[in-house]
């Protein structure tokens, strides 16, 4: 996904006319992040479908509906067809686009804003080319929290629609019906159920983002990778 984001951002920066300012750079970072998330989801959604099913069916092996990944795929295709493996894809795609647009876009935009402000306060010979690691980790953590906050309700709806594919009686007709019923029965808390563990776990995603940034910077200094302004 990181490679896709870099590819899309380079493509947008090189092929779309834009002003060399923070607002334009933020917009392109958001777009490239959303595109990378959507592309990744298109390629791996059946695996996400099966992962959600397997996580929902826990307990003794003899009582589980699916014994593993291949068993889940085979039974789903046999019962409901290949199309069933993409149940909830539309709502999940919207959630992924929002999530990764904020994840990548907010991170690079925060860093650029802070770096530009810091450099504006010092002379040219004292200007930094990149922020300290701990500041970038902090901005990555904030970006991760924001991406979770705005996309989690869509993730919840997508998971609910996936789980009900194995049920004989369908409780929800579509994503809109699922949202309406969850909102009426459980309110906002129903849409954000299970978010706290995700937020706690998000430190790993933030760290990966910063380490990837650091790795690109190191390769760029060695002349092995074309550095980008947003990584500075």
| The predicted structure's pLDDT at residue 216 | 82
* Residue in this structure with the two tokens 């904020």, named with its chain if needed: 102
| Neighbour-count burial for 159-185, b at 16+ CB within 10 Å, e otherwise | bbbbbbbbeeeeebeebeebbeebeee
| Residues 49, 86 contacting (CB under 8 angstroms) | yes
| Residues 71, 53 contacting (CB under 8 angstroms) | no
What's the mean pLDDT when you consider all of the chain?
A: 83
| Residues 106, 147 contacting (CB under 8 angstroms) | yes
pLDDT digits (tens, 9 = 90+) for 19-52: 555 567 778 888 888 999 899 998 899 998 888 8
> What CATH superfamily is the domain 2-231?
Mitochondrial carrier domain (1.50.40.10)
Segments making up each domain of the chain, as ranges? 2-231
Nearest CA to 35 out of 88, 98, 91, 82 is that of 98
Per the structure block, which two tokens stand in for 29?
């970072």
Query: How far is Cα 199 from Cα 149, in angstroms, rounded to an integer?
Result: 9
Nearest CA to 228 out of 121, 143, 112, 138 is that of 112
Query: How far is Cα 93 from Cα 88, in angstroms, rounded to an integer?
Result: 9
pLDDT digits (tens, 9 = 90+) for 108-119: 889 888 888 887
User: pLDDT tens track of the chain, all 232 residues?
Assistant: 777 888 888 888 776 665 555 567 778 888 888 999 899 998 899 998 888 888 876 655 546 677 788 988 888 888 888 888 888 889 989 999 999 999 988 998 898 888 888 877 666 665 666 788 999 999 999 999 999 999 999 999 988 888 887 777 788 888 999 999 999 999 999 999 888 888 888 888 899 999 988 888 888 777 765 544 444 4
Three-class SS of residue 217? helix
What interhelical angle do 2-15 and 22-56 show, nearest 10? 150
In sequence order, what are the residues at sequence separation of 6 or more whose Cβ sits closer than 8 angstroms to the Cβ of residue 113? 22
In sequence order, what are the residues at sequence separation of 6 or more whose Cβ sits closer than 8 angstroms to the Cβ of residue 37? 1, 96, 97, 99, 100, 101, 103
């Amino acid at each position: 996904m990181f490679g896709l984001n870099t590819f899309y951002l380079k493509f947008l920066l090189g092929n779309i006319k834009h002003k060399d300012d923070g607002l334009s750079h933020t917009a392109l970072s958001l777009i490239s992040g959303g595109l990378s998330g959507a592309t990744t989801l298109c390629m791996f959604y059946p695996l996400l479908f099966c992962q959600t099913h397997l996580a929902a069916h826990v307990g003794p092996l003899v009582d589980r509906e699916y014994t593993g990944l291949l068993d889940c795929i085979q039974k789903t295709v046999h019962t409901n067809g290949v199309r069933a493996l993409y149940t909830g894809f539309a709502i999940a795609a919207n959630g992924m686009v929002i999530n990764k647009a904020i994840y990548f876009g907010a991170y690079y935009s925060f860093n650029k804003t802070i770096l530009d402000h810091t450099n504006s306060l010092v002379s040219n010979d004292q200007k930094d080319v990149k922020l300290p690691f701990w500041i970038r980790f902090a901005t990555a953590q904030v970006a991760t929290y924001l991406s979770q906050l705005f996309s989690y309700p869509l993730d919840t709806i997508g998971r609910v629609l996936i789980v009900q594919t194995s049920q004989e009686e369908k409780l929800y007709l579509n994503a809109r019906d699922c949202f309406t019923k969850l909102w009426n029965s459980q309110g906002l808390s129903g849409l954000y159920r299970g978010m706290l563990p995700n937020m706690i776990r998000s430190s790993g995603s933030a760290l990966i983002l910063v380490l990837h940034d650091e790795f690109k910077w190191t390769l760029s200094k060695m002349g092995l990778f074309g550095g980008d302004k947003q990584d500075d």
